[in-house]
């Protein structure tokens, strides 16, 4: 990812075909973000792979324990975990040849962004979007997520 602006980075990420979502969850009530992102990317036509070492399947699809277990690999990864786990995931991304990482962050304050993970990505040539949510972008973005994007932009909370 050689994009300079946030819009360029997002456009490039959304153009990827094979994307993993690390952090899908059994607990749809308390941890829905990864699940929603997985479903939105899948409905938009991406080949999406669920990653959670504690699950065998997600929405009827195979769930992988880590990125290296995905046959054929992936081009991009959305990380929806605690920041400490994000640091481990970006190291796995480098080992698996992943080109781009999106570290999820919500308007409500929940964030997967790890400053050490961002630095690691940049030092290892992995494109990184440190914050915001993929559901806030694209023609199929719902009104709530478009409003979140507007508020985050207005308050300076969108990633650089």
Examine residue 44 and state whether it is found in any structural domain, yes or no.
yes
Examine residue 1 and state whether it is found in any structural domain, yes or no.
no
* CATH code, domain carrying 103: 3.40.50.720
Examine residue 160 and state whether it is found in any structural domain, yes or no.
no
Distance CA 11, CA 137 (A): 9
Burial of 104 (0-12, 13-18, 19+ CB in 10 A): buried
Count: domains in the chain? 1
Examine residue 57 and state whether it is found in any structural domain, yes or no.
yes
Examine residue 27 and state whether it is found in any structural domain, yes or no.
yes
- Domain hosting 30: range is 6-154
Taking only the tens place, the pLDDT of each residue in 85-101 is: 999 999 999 999 999 99
Share of the chain above pLDDT 70, in %: 96
Above 90 in pLDDT, residue 40?
yes
The pLDDT value recorded for residue 107 is: 65
Examine residue 69 and state whether it is found in any structural domain, yes or no.
yes
Examine residue 42 and state whether it is found in any structural domain, yes or no.
yes
Examine residue 150 and state whether it is found in any structural domain, yes or no.
yes
């Amino acid at each position: 990812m050689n994009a300079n602006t946030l819009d360029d980075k997002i456009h490039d990420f959304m153009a990827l075909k094979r994307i993993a979502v690390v952090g899908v969850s059994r607990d749809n009530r308390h941890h829905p973000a990864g699940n929603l992102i997985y479903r939105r990317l899948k409905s938009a036509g991406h080949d999406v792979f669920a990653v959670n070492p504690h699950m065998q399947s997600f929405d009827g699809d195979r769930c992988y324990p880590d990125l290296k277990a995905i046959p054929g690999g992936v081009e991009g990864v959305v990380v929806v975990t605690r920041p400490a786990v994000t640091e481990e995931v970006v190291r796995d991304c480098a080992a698996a040849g992943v080109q781009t990482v999106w570290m999820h962050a919500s308007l409500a304050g929940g964030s997967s962004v790890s400053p050490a993970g961002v630095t690691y990505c940049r030092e290892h040539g992995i494109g990184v979007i440190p914050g915001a949510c993929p559901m806030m972008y694209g023609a199929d973005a719902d009104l709530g997520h478009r409003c979140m994007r507007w508020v985050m932009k207005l308050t300076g909370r969108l990633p650089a």
